[in-house]
Structures are given as structure tokens and as C-alpha cells.
């Protein structure tokens, strides 16, 4: 059984870092008390922004040298933590942010719910998954015990149904002998060259909405090609879209539901056969 971060509401223990940083509501672009305008891809019965939900009280559990912690913040944002406490926020944006300032923020270009032009100045490394002018972003960063690299993919343009070449990146995080792939806002299946660039993957963070990103059958094809032993869904908006994907994926692999939005992963705790683990979120 995978072991994760545990909630401890009875004792009210909190991360010390949370006390030293602004609240999530204060971190939003909108004035205090104002609700950020919902973006197009967030209108499908999205059950509330993180800022509107009660902040969970977290109890710190130290990581061993071979472990990685994955915290699902919401939408496409995970807070990934390394043994040396490097913190990475994926698809960092103005609407869904982790409650602490990450060391590294990765972003994608499909919608403004996947990037920001105003990242917190305290972030050491801001990594944009697109370069503009149809040029691919090329990222290969080593920071403490973390390596971050990318594989560019194309996206559909929001207006006109065209294509923005290299507008998305699959980010690969190499931490504690694990390879974790975040598919971002993936719009198409992967060719062999892209699969070769990605390489072996232990954990894949996969968008499962089936409409704004890749359709459901296409995403199943991607997961089969990647052959990761652990798959964690994201970007699912509503119970309907989530259950639709879980029903389809259950025809291929085991599905496990976690009670907490966090999991600690190591080589020794990876499933022996492919499994999808649902972390509660949105």
C-alpha cells in the first residue's frame, strides 16, 4: 500500500512554512474578497477554486532518500517534493496555487489556468514549456537532487481550431531514482520519437477530461505506450468526467482511490502491475 501525507485535524498541526507565507486567497491576482473570473476550461462544473476551500492542516512526514511526495493541489497543479525538500509546482498559474512558494514552477501555454505572466518573485526557477514563434522550449535543469527536462508537444489554438506548434511540454522530473512525467495539456498521441525522448517513466500525471485535452481513447493509447506502473489523474473538472474515465481505465488496469490528496512514492512501493491512483481534488 502506498503511504502518503496524513491529515491530522485533531491535533491541528500545520506546516511551519504555511505560517510564513501568504494565504492562497492573497496569492490570487484578484483583489481581496473577489473571485477570479473562471476561464473557459474551468467552467465544466468545477467545484470551487482552492482559495474557496478550507485549508487542510498538514503534518510533515520526513522523506527518505529514495522517496518523492506528490501533493495534488487541483486542476493540473501538483506540488512535488524531493528528499532534499526541493518543491516543484506543475502548471503554475494565477488561479490554483500551492500554499507555499515552490523552488521550481513549470508552466504550459494552452490556457491561462496553466501558466502566469506574474509568477511569485520568490520562485528560484520558472520554466515555461513553450518558447513562442513555433520554436520548442528546451529545458534541462538540475537543482540540488532534482533534474527537470521537457519534451515539447503541439496544442490546438483556442480560437479558430488551428495548431500552435510546441505550445505544451511534457515535463519529466527525475528524483530519487524515479522518473515522473507530467503530461501538461496534451492534445495528441505521442510518436515514437517523443516516447524515446521521454524514456522510462515510473509515474505519469495524466489529464483525463477527454475534451479540452486529448480524447479518452487517445489518452488510453498514450498511457499504454508509456507503460508507467503508476498513473495519477488530474484536470477532470467534474464527477461525471472523472467517473467516465475511471470506468474506461478500469477495463485496462486496477483503480485505487486515496482518502488524502498526497502520496509518497519510491521504487520499492511502485505497483507490481500498472495501477491508476485517484487523489482527491478537482
The rounded mean pLDDT for the chain is 83
pLDDT above 60 for 8: no
pLDDT above 60 for 82: yes
Please indicate, yes or no, if residue 179 is contained in any of the structural domains: yes
Place of cell 524514456: 199
Question: What sign does the dihedral 110-112-114-120 (CA atoms) show?
Answer: positive
What percent of the chain shows pLDDT beyond 90? 71
CATH code for the domain of 253: 3.60.15.10
DSSP string of 202-234, one letter each residue: SEEEEE--SSSSS-HHHHHHHHHHH--SEEEEE
For range 43-50, the mean pLDDT: 35
Please indicate, yes or no, if residue 6 is contained in any of the structural domains: no
Q: What is the Cα 154 distance to its own chain's centre?
A: 18
Estimate the crossing angle of helix 216-226 against helix 239-249, to 10 degrees: 50
For the ranges 56-60, 133-137, 203-207, the lowest mean pLDDT is seen at 56-60
pLDDT of residue 28: 32
Question: How many domains does the chain divide into?
Answer: 1
Listed residue (141, 136, 128, 140) closest to 152, CA to CA: 136
Please indicate, yes or no, if residue 183 is contained in any of the structural domains: yes
Let me know: does 136 contact 119? Beta carbons within 8 Å.
no
Please indicate, yes or no, if residue 126 is contained in any of the structural domains: yes
pLDDT of residue 59: 46
Please indicate, yes or no, if residue 51 is contained in any of the structural domains: yes
pLDDT above 70 for 17: no
Please indicate, yes or no, if residue 11 is contained in any of the structural domains: no
pLDDT above 90 for 125: yes
Q: Domain containing 226: what range?
A: 16-278
The pLDDT tens digits for 83-117 are 999 999 999 999 999 999 999 999 999 889 999 99
For range 245-253, the mean pLDDT: 97
Instruction: State how far the Cα of 31 lies from the Cα of 26, in Å rounded to an integer.
Output: 8
First to last CA, the chain: 23
Please indicate, yes or no, if residue 269 is contained in any of the structural domains: yes
Amino acid at each position: 500500500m502506498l503511504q502518503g501525507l496524513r491529515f491530522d485535524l485533531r491535533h491541528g498541526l500545520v506546516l511551519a512554512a504555511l505560517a510564513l507565507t501568504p494565504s492562497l486567497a492573497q496569492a490570487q491576482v484578484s483583489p481581496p474578497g473577489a473571485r477570479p473570473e473562471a476561464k473557459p476550461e474551468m467552467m465544466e462544473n468545477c467545484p470551487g477554486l482552492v482559495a474557496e476551500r478550507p485549508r487542510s492542516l498538514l503534518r510533515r512526514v520526513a522523506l527518505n532518500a529514495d522517496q518523492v511526495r506528490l501533493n495534488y493541489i487541483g486542476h493540473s497543479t501538483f506540488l512535488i517534493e524531493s528528499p532534499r525538500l526541493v518543491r516543484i509546482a506543475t502548471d503554475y498559474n494565477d488561479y490554483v496555487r500551492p500554499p507555499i512558494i515552490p523552488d521550481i514552477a513549470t508552466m504550459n501555454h494552452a490556457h491561462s489556468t496553466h501558466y502566469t505572466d506574474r509568477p511569485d518573485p520568490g520562485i528560484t526557477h520558472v520554466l515555461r514549456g513553450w518558447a513562442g514563434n513555433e520554436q520548442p522550449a528546451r529545458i534541462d535543469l538540475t537543482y540540488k537532487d532534482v533534474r527537470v527536462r521537457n519534451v515539447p508537444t503541439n496544442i490546438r489554438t483556442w480560437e479558430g481550431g488551428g495548431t500552435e506548434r510546441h505550445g505544451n511540454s511534457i515535463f519529466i522530473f527525475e528524483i530519487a531514482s524515479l522518473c515522473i512525467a507530467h503530461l501538461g495539456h496534451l492534445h495528441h498521441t505521442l510518436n515514437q520519437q517523443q516516447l524515446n525522448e521521454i524514456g522510462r517513466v515510473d509515474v505519469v500525471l495524466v489529464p483525463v477530461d477527454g475534451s479540452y485535452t486529448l480524447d479518452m481513447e487517445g489518452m488510453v493509447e498514450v498511457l499504454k505506450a508509456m507503460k508507467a506502473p503508476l498513473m495519477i489523474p488530474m484536470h477532470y473538472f467534474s464527477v461525471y468526467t472523472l467517473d467516465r474515465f475511471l470506468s474506461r481505465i478500469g477495463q485496462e488496469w486496477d483503480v485505487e482511490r486515496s482518502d488524502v490528496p498526497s502520496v509518497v512514492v519510491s521504487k520499492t512501493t511502485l505497483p507490481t502491475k500498472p495501477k491508476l491512483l485517484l487523489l482527491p481534488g478537482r
